[in-house]
């Protein structure tokens, strides 16, 4: 805890030290630590979120645009989740991950079910405003930048509707654990990601698991959007987990994609294309999930 408090102190008191601050393990700031920061500095929540953005921006991977964006999400739990933008050389720009998507997917990884505020280093594009629309009570989410503070429904007054989804589910609805898959393996982690998918429109769940040289496995579930293009592929979601753990593409050994048979959409082609450019050393495989385990 003291490490993060020291980092925030350096940042708040001397922004010039940003480039020299060790930014490891800052993609998630537990609620207790966030609360202590607010108390120690006597600042407001928005000020804390905005002050953390310069810490995250250097971690962005933007080899195409060279525009590094940071995002900080405050969950209802009080935990702060950070995010950055990711671009993949040689791959169409629509496969990029926006900082807001990163931060929200990061919150979902940790079981956060509601978001109250998102602070961003640049005004959110329409793509990200629509992505946030899939969250419960999305219109009430406060979007904060250095120049404005507005609820999402003021920034996206005529959002694409979500009528085709189950009224009881949304992007951050927690998925139940599947006890039959408790063995930690690439296969089981990919299947768990498949089961955790949010695909209310296409009904085509999909999951990816990535294994790196250390043996660590990162999984990503497909996160769909009513406007389709803002959807996050399972590989993108898995890469968010990998980057949030401060790992690197060069560490990737194996990637497993799980999809259902005869799906209307498949992520295989784009998964292969991205891996070819960021992790050509990785072994790719795909399996079909015929039915959900009991």
* Residues belonging to the active site: 100
Buried b (16+ CB within 10 A) or exposed e, 273-284: bbbeebbeebeb
Closest C-alpha to 28, from 74, 91, 92, 61: 74
**Beta carbons of 219 and 209 less than 8 angstroms apart:** yes
Give the DSSP per-residue string, 72-111.
EEEETTS-EEEEE-B--TTS-GGG-B-HHHHHHHHHHHTT
Q: What is the DSSP letter of 251?
A: G
Tokens read off for 81:
């989740």
Strands (E), 223-263: 252-259
Distant-in-sequence, close-in-space partners of 151: CB < 8 Å, separation ≥ 6? 139, 140, 141, 142, 143
Residue 26 neighbours by CB distance under 10 Å: 21
Which conformational region is residue 8 in: left (phi greater than 0), alpha (psi within -120 to 50 degrees), or beta?
alpha
């Amino acid at each position: 805890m003291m490490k993060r408090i020291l980092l925030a102190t350096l940042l708040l008191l001397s922004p010039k030290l940003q480039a020299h601050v060790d930014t490891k393990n800052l993609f998630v700031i537990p609620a207790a630590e966030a609360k202590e920061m607010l108390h120690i500095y006597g600042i407001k929540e928005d000020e804390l979120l905005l002050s953390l953005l310069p810490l995250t921006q250097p971690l962005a991977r933007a080899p195409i645009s060279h525009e590094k964006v940071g995002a900080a999400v405050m969950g209802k739990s009080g935990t702060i989740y950070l995010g950055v933008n990711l671009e993949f050389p040689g791959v169409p720009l629509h496969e990029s991950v926006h900082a807001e998507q990163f931060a929200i997917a990061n919150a979902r990884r940790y079981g956060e079910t509601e978001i109250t505020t998102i602070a961003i280093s640049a005004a959110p594009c329409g793509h990200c405003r629509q992505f946030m629309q899939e969250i419960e009570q999305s219109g009430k989410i406060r979007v904060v930048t250095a120049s404005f503070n507005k609820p999402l429904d003021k920034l996206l007054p005529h959002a694409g509707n979500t009528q085709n989804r189950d009224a009881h589910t949304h992007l951050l609805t927690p998925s139940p654990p599947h006890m039959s898959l408790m063995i930690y393996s690439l296969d089981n982690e990919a299947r768990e990601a498949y089961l955790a998918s949010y695909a209310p429109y296409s009904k085509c769940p999909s999951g990816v698991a990535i294994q790196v040289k250390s043996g660590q496995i990162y999984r990503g579930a497909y996160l769909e959007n009513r406007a389709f293009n803002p959807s996050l592929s399972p590989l993108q979601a898995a890469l968010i987990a990998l980057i949030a753990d401060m790992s690197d593409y060069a560490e990737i050994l194996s990637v497993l994609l799980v999809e259902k048979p005869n799906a209307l959409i498949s992520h295989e082609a784009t998964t292969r294309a991205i891996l070819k450019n960021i992790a050509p050393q990785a072994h790719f495989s795909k399996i079909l999930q015929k039915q959900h385990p009991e």
